[in-house]
Amino acid sequence: MTLKDFFIALSENQTLNSVAQKYGFKLGAQSVVAGTNIDEVVESIKELNALGISCTVDNLGEFVFEKSAALEAKQQILAVIDRIHTENLQAHISLKPSQLGLDIDYDFCFENLEEIVSAANNYQIFVNFDMENYARLHPSFQLLEKLSEHYNNIGTVIQSYFFESDENVDRYKDYRLRLVKGAYKEDHSVAYQAKEEIDRKYIEHIEYHLLHGKFTSIATHDHHVINHVKQFVKKHNIPNEKFEFQMLYGFRKELQLELAQEGYNFCTYVPFGHDWYGYFMRRLAERPQNLSLVSKQVFNKKSNTILAVAAGAFLLGRMTKRKK
C-alpha cells in the first residue's frame, strides 16, 4: 500500500471522521481550517484580503445522504454568499455537488445548486464546482452544463490524472477552470497511476488552458510547477489577468504572500466547519509532502496521538479483513 492509498482510506473512514469532528479543533485543526462558523471564516478572509490575497470559500461536509443535511449545507452557503456581498470581501464560493444532494437525487441536487448559483449571480459572485471521484464526475459536469444555459458565473475543476481530461480541458475551455492533479484513489482503467505521468499531464493541461482558456486557476504547492508557469506566461505574453495561483489555507504561507507581493493574482482555498477530516486526508493523499508543510503548526503531541490512533485503527481493520 502506498502512502497515497493510506491517506485515501483514512479519508473514507466515517468513524474516524466523527472522532475528528469531535476533537479536531482541540488538536490543532485550526491551522488548516479557517474556523468552525461564518463569523470566524469571514475574519480569516479579511486577514488574507488585507495581504492582497483573494479567497475561495468551502463549507466543508462529507457523507451527505439525507436531504436535511443537504438543505442545511445549502443554507450555510447562501449565508456565506450574503456575507461576501455585504462585507465586500474578495472571495467566491467552492462547493461539492455531493454535499448538495448528488448522492441522494439528481433533481434535488440541481434545485439546490440553482438556488446557490442564482443568489451568487445576483451579487456577481463566482461559484466553482469542485470535482470529486470518478463516479460523480459526469453527473457533476452535467449539472454544470445545465446551469450554464442560464448562468455564466460558474466554473469547475479538471483533474489531470483522468485519461479523459485531455478532452475535458478542451471541452470546458470557455469556463474558468481550476486545474489540479487529482486527490482520490481511482482505478487504472480511468486514471493514470504513476506520478510522472500525472505531473506531465498536469503541465500539459495548464499550458493548454493558459493559451486557449478563459481563466486558469493553477492549484498547486509545488514550486517547480509554479516556476514553470512563471516562465511559460512570460514567454507567451500571457497577462496576469488571465490566471491565478491557488493554495490551501495554512499551507506554504510564506510562498502565498511572496507570489501576491510579486504581483500575481493569488487565491487561497479557505475551508471552514467541523467536518475537516476527509478534506485534510485527501490533501495529504494528493501530495504527502503537504504533511511536512503543516507539521510544525498542526502536529503537536496530542495530534500525533490522534494520527497514530487513526493509523492503528486503519491497519487493524486491514488485518481483520485479511483474516476473514
Q: Which residues are catalytic?
A: 130, 178
Place of cell 511572496: 258
C-alpha cell at 228: 514553470
Please, which residues bridge with residue 287 across strands? Answer: none
The Cα 112–Cα 124 span in angstroms is 18
Per-residue CA distances from 236 to 180, 210, 211, 231, 269 (Å): 22, 9, 8, 9, 27
The Cα 271–Cα 45 span in angstroms is 11
Task: Report, in angstroms and rounded to the nearest whole number, the Rg of the chain calculated over CA atoms.
Answer: 19
Among 22, 17, 30, smallest CA distance to 299 is for 30
Among 131, 235, 133, smallest CA distance to 175 is for 131
Give the orientation angle of helix 290-298 with respect to helix 277-286, to 10 degrees.
140
H/E stretch holding 57 = strand 54-59
Side-chain half-sphere CA neighbours of 104 within 13 A: 20
Among 138, 185, 193, smallest CA distance to 12 is for 185
The Cα 241–Cα 3 span in angstroms is 37
Beta strand pairing call for 266-272 and 215-219: unpaired
The Cα 42–Cα 48 span in angstroms is 10
